[in-house]
């Protein structure tokens, strides 16, 4: 797909989103900040009929601001609790723009997705119990690099996945969208319905592309409808379905549609007839007409697949599937807000967080008394409705639980595999179980052959940790330096999130692949030592478990260079191993 | 509130639907946890259940939904009023209360009524979500993301059936017995084991992978959204049928016989699986009885036990938390051992 075609797809997405912001959920806009993204946003803004608002949601929005709560000023003035709308409620009827969606916390994500699902928000905070409409479309600005993505639960609910990366400014042509056209399309929208066969075709296409979630075909239905409305079609036509497939289904594809694609290539001249029956719908004979429709939709979706995605899918669809799921948890930062630990009486010093509601509650019982008192000295007229004294101030206390992420760095090289990869796996599993109890996050890096690979980004999902561990093959060289480098990079990013990394390295220390992938022990060892020193210099807690049958001085030396606790375990079983490691990181 | 999708129009998801119906027939079963794929209709099913539940009788004007037929369980208000004279009762919808993430503690347990305190200087208690959920359902979407201090609080109340509030000079306790319903996606984090244990039934939800059901799901959803009123009208009959089924199952429940043989089977099954404590057996027995009542059977049979064994037991295995895929298999194995 060329840059021009990609841009034109992005423009269509903006138009269709403008036609039905609530129904289509929104747009996931993958793009670095820059003129192309600005142009797209300006275009969308112009397309949205007034008075639709653009609300920007800052990344680290507090729950109170997001959901709403008590309006302090108004409450004090009025003398009774006054609610303040949060950003989600304010976005009602408009568009909510999420900055840096790839870094969205799981708590914020859940609030947004539940508002998307319900079209309203339910607030149970600060003594208030409110239900407010919150029907809006989302534009999620995702600036993530290759591996970073917006939370999966959010992506799943946004119809359009638009990628502007790789589109040069020159190709991003200015397009004027008249909001009058959009308004006219909105008027037509309710009368348009997707036919039975058309709906089936979209479902079949989604299935053929390996898309599991049922939201995808449903969103495609709505996009097809919006497309027909915009085009002024009297009913949803094939073109509209193709557009929906291109914009909604193709970016979610996990499989290359096999059968149909080959058929189209080979026997393009005559319309498909045989071979169609080998597909899924065997119990319900599908007329040729539908089949043809699926083909059209699939072809449209396939044409929209970027070439590199296509290649990656062909190379191994299974892997791509696990990766895309793996990212789901990876970016969801866990709950790093402090856990409220009650309130205390206190003064408003720097850093202290006034708990308004508790302060008001503390002041409330005294009001009649204070008012009488104020009246007796004749000061009542000048007094505000609520009389608050210093002694009423209540300061919130928070317990910040530091989150630990344990990074397992597993040597899966040939030498280690020979010795005790199985035992190392067993030990990691036991350690994982312990992490589960403490609700730590875990990550898994394996190194073998010539590189290290992040098999599992930090997650709390133990099921996934286990799966990726079980699938870990052994064999090949020992690129210890690469493994340590990867561990260092990950530790660094974990620290930047305000969490504490712990590295547990399981290896026999027989490094034989250097950083540049070259063979030869001396250089490999030197590289490994310098990589190990990085970890020590950063002061990262580490444990090195020597898995060789006869622990030599080699692994011990690495441990010293890393500043790691060294655990030679010549004859230990998995249980002993896990106990020893736990004892040493506490 | 947005109109709920009709329960009977939900395609597939039989295990989840059955578990919810069982909880509706016998709240003592102890709540339902539905964990699974995104977009598979977990929340839809729970919200659909709300409009399906038959009404219940409460003391008129009671803020805690007290049952007029059970004076022993009255809250303090009702007790005081009952001493003065007979209480009036009214029929209300069974509450299905949302516990939204981000809720603050004061709204969950209840707190000093700020409005009255500020305006009139009165010390009055404003009941929270737990009071509202009494005798109904408390629904937590994304239960695995609920903040720890709220989880602790829920565990305490769910265990005791009573909410004790000691704050701001208030000292209140009121009954709070509710069916806990939780949903979530395991990819986003596990549920704390202590909370897991509170759920009577645990179901796994998967997106259907056969084309026919997938199409049907999308079609019905589309129909519902494009013409809600017509869709609801189309399903009224089914809904009424289902509602009647729940009502008559509730009436039948006390008379369903659980023979000793069934109890023995339940015990054997739990022993074979090494579940902790008696809660597994109790849930198994109650769920089987509720199922029998739903089916109009007079006696609990092996078939009933077999049908509810998975949801009643799969989350109770003394488990290796990593071995989530294995627990279902282990229950299956135990079932075939015990039932032959």
Please report the ipTM that was assigned to this predicted complex. 0.79
Chain A contact for B103, CB < 8 A?
Answer: yes
Q: pLDDT 10s per residue in chain A (586 long)?
A: 678 888 989 999 999 999 999 999 999 999 888 889 999 998 888 888 876 678 888 877 777 788 887 777 777 777 777 888 888 998 888 899 998 888 887 778 888 988 888 888 888 877 778 888 989 999 999 887 766 778 888 999 999 999 888 888 888 888 878 888 888 999 998 888 888 888 888 998 888 888 888 899 999 999 999 999 999 998 888 889 999 998 999 888 887 765 444 444 443 333 333 333 344 434 444 444 445 667 777 777 776 665 555 555 444 433 333 333 322 222 233 333 445 555 666 666 555 666 777 777 777 777 777 777 777 776 655 556 677 777 777 777 665 555 678 888 888 877 665 556 677 677 777 777 776 666 677 888 888 888 888 888 887 777 777 777 777 777 788 888 888 889 988 988 887 776 788 888 888 888 888 887 777 888 888 888 888 888 888 888 888 888 777 777 778 888 888 888 887 766 556 666 667 666 666 5
Closest CA to B34 of B52, B49, B19, B50: B19
The CATH number given to whatever domain includes residue B153 is 3.40.50.300
Give yes or no: residues B12 and B135 share one domain: yes
Q: How far is B189 from chain A (nearest CA, A)?
A: 5
Closest Cα in chain A to B146: A107
Q: How far is A178 from chain B (nearest CA, A)?
A: 26
Q: Which residues of A touch B118 (CB under 8 A)?
A: 79-81, 360, 364, 367, 386
pLDDT at B217 over 50: yes
Give yes or no: residues B201 and B298 share one domain: no
Domain termination site, one of B147, B173, B205: B205
In degrees, to the nearest 5, what angle opens at C-alpha B243 toward C-alphas B237 and B245?
105
Pairing label, strands A26-30, A160-163: parallel
Give the integer Cα–Cα distance in Å for A50 and A102: 29
Residue to mutate among B37, B100, B143, B228, with most A CBs inside 10 A, is: B100
Residue to mutate among B118, B150, B186, with most A CBs inside 10 A, is: B118
Give the integer Cα–Cα distance in Å for A525 and A532: 10
Q: How is A334-382 classified by DSSP, letter by letter?
A: ---SPEEEEEEE----TT-EE-HHHHHHHHGGGHHHHHHHHHHTT-GGG
Give yes or no: residues B189 and B311 share one domain: no
In degrees, to the nearest 5, what angle opens at C-alpha B107 toward C-alphas A109 and A106?
15
Give yes or no: residues B175 and B48 share one domain: yes
The CATH number given to whatever domain includes residue B278 is 1.10.8.80
Beta carbons of B2 and A218 less than 8 Å apart: no
Q: At what angle do helices A196-208 and B211-226 cross, to 10 degrees?
A: 130
Which two structure tokens, joined as six digits, stand for A213? 């979630």
Residue to mutate among A127, A260, A328, A365, with most B CBs inside 10 A, is: A127
Give yes or no: residues B49 and B188 share one domain: yes
Which two structure tokens, joined as six digits, stand for A58? 């800052």
- Helical segments of A455-544, H only: 462-470, 480-496, 521-537
Give yes or no: residues B166 and B102 share one domain: yes
Look-up of token digits 């509720």: B290
Give yes or no: residues B50 and B184 share one domain: yes
First to last CA, chain B: 49
Beta carbons of A114 and B100 less than 8 Å apart: yes
Beta carbons of A120 and B1 less than 8 Å apart: yes
On whether residue B221 sits in a domain, the answer given is: no
Residue to mutate among A77, A361, A374, A469, with most B CBs inside 10 A, is: A361
Give the integer Cα–Cα distance in Å for A481 and A491: 15
Beta carbons of A334 and B189 less than 8 Å apart: yes
Give the integer Cα–Cα distance in Å for A476 and B179: 55
First to last CA, chain A: 53
User: Residue A328: its pLDDT value, please?
Assistant: 28
Is the separation of the CB atoms in A99 and A144 below 8 Å? no
Closest CA to A221 of B10, B222, B224: B222
On whether residue B226 sits in a domain, the answer given is: no
Give yes or no: residues B34 and B154 share one domain: yes
On whether residue B27 sits in a domain, the answer given is: yes
Q: Is B279 a catalytic residue?
A: yes
Q: What is the pLDDT of residues B294-304, one digit of tens each?
A: 999 999 999 99
Give yes or no: residues B269 and B138 share one domain: no
Q: Which residues of A touch B323 (CB under 8 A)?
A: 466
Is the separation of the CB atoms in A442 and A329 below 8 Å? no
Scored b (16 or more CB within 10 A) or e, A236-262 reads: beeebbbbbbbbbbbbbbbbbbeebee
Closest CA to A546 of A575, A572, A512, A520: A572
On whether residue B241 sits in a domain, the answer given is: no
Give yes or no: residues B195 and B287 share one domain: no
Q: If contacts are CB pairs under 8 Å, which of residues 54-93 in chain B contact chain A?
A: none
Give the integer Cα–Cα distance in Å for B176 and A305: 54
Beta carbons of A212 and B209 less than 8 Å apart: yes
Which two structure tokens, joined as six digits, stand for A195? 């036919």
Which residues are registered as beta bridge partners of A26? A138
What is the percent of chain B where pLDDT is above 70?
94
Nearest-by-Cβ selection for B2 from A118, A280, A462:
A118
Ramachandran angles phi, psi of A568, nearest 5°: -80, 130
Q: Which residues of A touch B186 (CB under 8 A)?
A: 461, 463
Give yes or no: residues B264 and B184 share one domain: no
Domain termination site, one of B189, B205, B221: B205
Q: Which residues of A touch B112 (CB under 8 A)?
A: 361, 364
Number of structural domains (chain B) is 2
On whether residue B222 sits in a domain, the answer given is: no
On whether residue B13 sits in a domain, the answer given is: yes
Q: What is the pLDDT of residues B184-199, one digit of tens each?
A: 887 777 777 777 878 8
Closest Cα in chain B to A399: B149
User: Residue A298: its pLDDT value, please?
Assistant: 74
Q: How far is A300 from chain B (nearest CA, A)?
A: 20
Band of residue B255 on the pLDDT scale cut at 50, 70, 90:
very high
Range of the domain at B22: 7-55+93-205
Domain termination site, one of B164, B179, B205: B205
Chain A contact for B106, CB < 8 A?
Answer: yes
Closest CA to A194 of A216, A227, A161: A227
Give the integer Cα–Cα distance in Å for B294 and A530: 69
Q: Which residues of A touch B219 (CB under 8 A)?
A: 196, 199
Give yes or no: residues B154 and B20 share one domain: yes
Q: How many CA atoms lie within 13 A of B187 on its CB side?
A: 21
Q: Which residues of B touch A439 (CB under 8 A)?
A: 192
Give the integer Cα–Cα distance in Å for A383 and B300: 71
- CA-CA-CA-CA torsion sign (A567, A572, A574, A579): negative
Beta carbons of B320 and A193 less than 8 Å apart: no
Domains with residue ranges and CATH for chain A = 3-178 (3.40.50.300), 192-305 (no CATH), 339-399 (no CATH), 404-585 (3.40.50.410)
The active-site residue out of B63, B214, B221, B279 is: B279
Closest Cα in chain B to A468: B322
Which two structure tokens, joined as six digits, stand for A41? 């946003």
Beta carbons of B117 and A365 less than 8 Å apart: yes
Which two structure tokens, joined as six digits, stand for A495? 């620290």
Q: Which residues of A touch B123 (CB under 8 A)?
A: 365
Q: If contacts are CB pairs under 8 Å, which of residues 226-285 in chain B contact chain A?
A: 226
Chain A contact for B130, CB < 8 A?
Answer: no
B107 burial type by CB count under 10 A (0-12 exposed, 13-18 middle, 19+ buried): buried
Is the separation of the CB atoms in A442 and A490 below 8 Å? no
């Amino acid at each position: 797909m060329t840059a021009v075609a990609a841009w034109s797809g992005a423009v269509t997405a903006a138009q269709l989103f403008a036609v039905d912001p609530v129904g289509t959920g929104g747009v996931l806009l993958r793009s670095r900040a820059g003129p192309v993204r600005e142009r797209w946003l300006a275009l969308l803004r112009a397309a949205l009929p007034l008075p639709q608002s653009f609300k920007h949601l800052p990344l680290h929005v507090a729950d109170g601001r997001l959901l709403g709560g008590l309006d302090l000023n108004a409450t004090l003035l009025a003398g009774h609790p006054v609610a303040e709308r949060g950003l989600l409620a304010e976005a009602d009827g408009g568009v909510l723009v999420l900055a840096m969606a790839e870094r969205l916390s799981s708590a914020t994500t859940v609030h947004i997705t539940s508002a998307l699902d319900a079209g309203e928000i339910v607030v149970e905070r600060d003594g208030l119990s409110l239900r407010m409409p919150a029907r809006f479309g989302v534009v999620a600005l995702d600036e993530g690099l290759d591996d970073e993505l917006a939370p999966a639960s959010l992506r799943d609910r946004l119809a359009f996945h638009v990628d502007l990366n790789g589109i040069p400014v020159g190709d991003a042509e200015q397009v004027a969208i008249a909001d009058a056209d959009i308004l006219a399309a909105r008027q037509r929208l309710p009368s348009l319905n997707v036919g039975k066969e058309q709906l089936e075709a979209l479902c079949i296409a989604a299935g053929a592309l390996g898309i599991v979630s049922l939201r995808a075909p449903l969103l495609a239905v709505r996009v097809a409808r919006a497309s027909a409305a915009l085009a002024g079609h009297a009913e949803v036509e094939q073109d509209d379905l193709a557009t929906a497939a291109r914009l909604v289904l193709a970016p979610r594809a996990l499989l290359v549609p096999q059968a149909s694609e080959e058929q189209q290539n080979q026997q393009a001249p005559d319309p498909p007839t045989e071979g169609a029956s080998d597909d899924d719908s065997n119990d319900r004979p599908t007329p040729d007409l539908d089949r043809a429709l699926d083909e059209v939709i699939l072809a449209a979706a396939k044409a929209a697949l970027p070439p590199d995605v296509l290649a990656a899918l062909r190379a191994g669809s299974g892997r791509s599937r696990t990766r895309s799921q793996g990212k789901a948890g990876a970016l969801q930062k866990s709950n790093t807000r402090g856990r409220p630990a009650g309130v205390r009486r206190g003064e408003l010093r720097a850093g202290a967080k006034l708990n308004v509601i508790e302060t008001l509650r503390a002041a409330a019982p005294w009001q009649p008394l204070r008012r009488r008192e104020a009246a007796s000295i004749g000061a009542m007229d000048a007094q505000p409705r609520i009389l608050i004294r210093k002694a009423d101030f209540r300061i919130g206390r928070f317990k910040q639980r530091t989150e630990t992420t344990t990074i397992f760095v597993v040597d899966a090289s040939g030498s280690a595999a020979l010795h005790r990869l199985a035992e190392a796996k067993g030990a990691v599993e036991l350690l994982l179980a312990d992490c589960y109890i403490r609700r730590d996050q875990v990550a898994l890096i394996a190194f073998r052959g010539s590189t290290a690979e992040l098999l599992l980004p930090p997650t709390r999902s133990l099921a996934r940790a286990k799966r990726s561990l079980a699938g870990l093959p052994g064999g090949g060289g020992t690129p210890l330096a690469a493994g340590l480098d990867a561990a260092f990079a990950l530790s660094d990013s974990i620290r930047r999130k305000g969490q504490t990394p712990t590295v547990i390295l399981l290896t026999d220390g027989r490094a034989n692949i250097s950083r540049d992938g070259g063979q030869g022990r001396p250089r490999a060892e030197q590289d490994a030592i310098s990589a190990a020193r990085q970890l020590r210099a950063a002061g990262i807690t580490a444990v090195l478990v020597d898995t060789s049958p006869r622990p030599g001085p080699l692994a011990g030396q690495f441990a010293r260079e890393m500043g790691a606790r060294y655990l030679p375990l010549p004859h230990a079983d998995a249980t002993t191993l896990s106990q020893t490691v736990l004892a040493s990181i506490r | 509130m947005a109109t709920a999708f009709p329960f009977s129009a939900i395609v597939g998801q039989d295990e989840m639907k059955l578990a919810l119906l069982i909880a509706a027939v016998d709240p003592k079963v102890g709540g339902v946890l539905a964990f699974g794929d995104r977009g598979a209709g977990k929340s839809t099913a729970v919200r659909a259940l709300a409009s399906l539940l038959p009404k219940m009788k409460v003391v008129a004007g009671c803020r805690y939904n007290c049952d007029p037929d059970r004076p022993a369980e009255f809250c303090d208000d009702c007790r005081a009023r009952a001493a003065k004279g007979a209480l009036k009762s009214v029929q209300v919808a069974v509450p299905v209360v949302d516990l939204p993430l981000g809720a603050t503690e004061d709204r969950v347990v209840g707190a000093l009524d700020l409005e009255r305190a500020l305006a009139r200087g009165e010390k009055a208690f404003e009941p929270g979500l737990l009071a509202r959920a009494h005798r109904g359902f408390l629904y937590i979407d994304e239960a695995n993301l609920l903040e720890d201090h709220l989880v602790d609080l829920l565990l305490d109340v769910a265990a005791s059936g009573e909410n004790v509030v000691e704050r701001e000079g208030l000292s209140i306790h009121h009954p709070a017995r509710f069916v806990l319903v939780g949903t979530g996606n395991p990819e986003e984090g596990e549920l704390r084991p202590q909370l897991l244990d509170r759920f009577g039934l645990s179901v796994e939800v998967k997106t259907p992978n056969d084309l026919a059901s997938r199409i049907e799901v999308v079609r019905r959803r589309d129909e519902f959204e494009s013409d809600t009123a017509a869709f609801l009208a189309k399903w009224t009959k089914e809904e009424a049928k289902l509602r009647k089924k729940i009502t008559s199952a509730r009436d039948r429940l006390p008379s369903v016989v659980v023979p000793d043989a069934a109890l023995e089977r339940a015990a054997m099954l739990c022993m074979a699986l090494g579940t902790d404590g008696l809660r597994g057996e109790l849930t198994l027995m109650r769920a089987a009885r509720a199922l029998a009542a739903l089916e109009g059977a007079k006696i609990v049979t092996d078939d009933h036990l077999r049908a509810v064994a998975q949801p009643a037991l799969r989350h109770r295995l003394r488990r290796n938390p990593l071995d989530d895929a294995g627990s279902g298999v282990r229950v299956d194995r135990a079932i075939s051992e015990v039932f032959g």
